[in-house]
Chain A
Amino acid sequence: MSASFYEYLRTIQMGESILIEYKPTEPLHMIFNKVLEYAKQNNSKILIIDILDTFHVIKEHLKTCNLDTETLDKLDVIKGGGIINVGHVLKKIDISKEPPIYISEFAKFLEEYYRQNKNVVVVILGADKLTRVYLTEVPTLEMNIGLLLKKFLGNPSRVAIWFVNTGMVPQKLLIEWEEISTRVLEIALKGKKQFVIKIKKSIKIEDHGKEFIVSAEEVLYSEV
């Protein structure tokens, strides 16, 4: 990672909720890998919230590049819906129930997890799909994941990183989501081998609008 982006990441404090926005054609698997790298460098305990098999999609995408997926299999995972187990699955939550029900199940699990584990980086994959499924209701964030977002915001045991495919989420909902988040990062591929990471929102106002270029080189598929 570039030195300045790494310096920026080191300013993240426990209790923060970070939103990572990407478009559907962006290489999600690589962005995820970078986030894992950050968590490991932090010596954090990693917890994956895997909604509707998004973790499986990322793992398969990494496999097509001949990238290592063994570390993924060892990570703690709590599943929301989906049928494919990836990682060390601690609990499965049924998301076909009413949102208030499954939200409270998530909350209960997380409360306990944060009691037993400190310095956690929780990575939430596929929450954007949750918002889509209940779109027949009034599509506010409050209806589904808003409660979760707000409940743990500020909890010093963890940093939460939410991945959002902006194509899947209506603008109004995205705006609410950005409002609750302490930081909003927009990630896009620039050319073929670099990411541009734009800081849309940050704790320090001076960081707003900053852009970092991060090389994708070290995770590149090499031609054999």
Chain B
Amino acid sequence: MYKTLNGFLEKIKPGEAILVEYSSLDHPELLFYSITRWAKEKEFPILIHDILDTFHIFLTHLKLSGFDVSFLEKNVYVIKCGGSTPIGNIIRKARLYEDISIYSKEVREAQIEFIQQAKRKPVIVLVLGVEKTFNAYENQPMAVEYFFEVVIRKFLGNPQRIAFLFGNPHLVTPEIEAELKECMTKVIKVHGYGKKIRIEKSTWLDEIGTEVKV
């Protein structure tokens, strides 16, 4: 069993989708930073879904803590979903508040295109602010289901990418949280305000309950 975060990351199989849970008082950007550093070392392309400026929030917190984020400002690709602060190389803007089928299509197409052109696989996809997508369509359960169907479940198992979904579960309804967690191959929870993570769910039973430092 691994003892470090990198050990955990190495064990992830292409096609997996991992939910990172945190609360409003945590620093999930520390984990985000460590994952992007690992991806950079491995030369995996990094694609960020930036929903409603969550990327900007993460980056600002990191900068204020003294981290060097220049590679995140220059060498990552971004699908911008709503929001007003552009960071990174924006390959596509997806219209969050349009019809769900338009939004889903834009997100899907951008991701598929990026994956096809990527010179090295798997692509590391980081979705920042996943709960914001669900909140935008909170009163339309069929729209939410549609999004699950054509984006989340459709990409599950695609061996050309690994997805990390960052979200605050307190911001979605319990049913959506339940549906999301069921679909994920792993669920990790931020502990110690961001210094550690604990594996709450995994398809690989052995690693459930493991804690590693970020």
Chain A residues in the interface with B (C-beta under 8 A): 23-30, 52-53, 56-57, 59-65, 81-84, 96, 129, 132-136, 165-170, 189, 192-193, 216, 220-221, 223
Q: How far is the CB of A29 from chain B (nearest CB, A)?
A: 6
B145 nearest in chain A by CB position: A133
B-side interface residues, number (CB < 8 Å): 32
Partner of A81, one of B149, B182, B209: B149
A216 nearest in chain B by CB position: B205
Q: How far is the CB of A132 from chain B (nearest CB, A)?
A: 5
Q: Is B194 an interface residue (CB 8 A)?
A: no
A193 touches B205 (CB 8 A): yes
Chain B residues in the interface with A (C-beta under 8 A): 13, 15-16, 141-142, 145, 148-150, 153-154, 156-157, 174-175, 177-183, 185, 187, 200-201, 203-206, 208-209
Partner of B206, one of A23, A62, A84, A192: A192
Known contacts A132-B145, A133-B141, A221-B206: does B178 contact A64 (CB below 8 Å)? no
Partner of A27, one of B141, B145, B180, B203: B203
A131 nearest in chain B by CB position: B175
> A residues within 8 A CB of B149?
52-53, 81-83
Question: CA of A223 to CA of B1 in the docked complex: distance in angstroms?
Answer: 9
Q: How far is the CB of B185 from chain A (nearest CB, A)?
A: 5
B206 nearest in chain A by CB position: A192
Question: CA of A52 to CA of B182 in the docked complex: distance in angstroms?
Answer: 13
B175 touches A65 (CB 8 A): no
Partner of A165, one of B179, B204, B206: B179
Question: CA of A170 to CA of B178 in the docked complex: distance in angstroms?
Answer: 12
